Amino acid sequence: MIQYVDLLYSVSKTLKENYPKAKVRVNKKKSETEIENGLFYVIVSPLESKTAFNRREKLLNIYIEYIEEVKTQESSLKAQQELEELFDEYIEVSGRCLPINNKRLVDNYDNITLQMTLKYYDSKGEKPQETPDATYTALMKLLHLRVNAED
């Protein structure tokens, strides 16, 4: 099962690997000192989750906002092209390749935003097994003794 936070970390890791000098943030706190070599904000926004039998159909948006210190048309177009190629067909998360349905680039006054829509199927989360406590262990020992005593 893929957690939303896994998507957040996977996209952030991809950006950090491809833009080593830029800062990558998952919380939107603007700081002028961080913009020096470029600044990325990553936001995961779940939209819909439908459950049928043992599978979930999930629909979500991922927003990548890029802010640079001095934005020109040339640098903006270059950044848009790089982001579009970096997140071309899928996002790899926990060994799975999740397809990107739609991409939308928005060029604002001070930033570039890439919006990606993902639709994928995931298994329902299995509840983690509880660890047996002392009472359970004592009960099992008692039952084991009674079974063995009857043999």
Q: Based on the structure, what is the number of domains in the chain? A: 1
Domain containing residue 38: 4-150
- Within 13 Å, how many C-alpha atoms sit on residue 114's CB side? 25
Average pLDDT for residues 29-39, to the nearest whole number?
70
Average pLDDT for residues 113-125, to the nearest whole number?
89
pLDDT digits (tens, 9 = 90+) for 36-70: 778 889 999 999 999 888 888 999 999 999 988 88
pTM, whole model, 2 decimals? 0.76
Edge-to-edge strands, sheet with 23-25: 23-25, 39-52, 55-67, 111-123, 96-107, 90-93
Tokens 């991922």 label which residue? 62
For 27-140, list the strands marked E by DSSP. 39-52, 55-67, 90-93, 96-107, 111-123
Please report, for the domain that includes residue 19, its CATH number. Answer: 3.30.2000.10
β-partners of residue 45 are 61
Query: In this structure, what are the phi and psi dihedrals at residue 106, rounded to the nearest 5 degrees?
Result: -125, 125
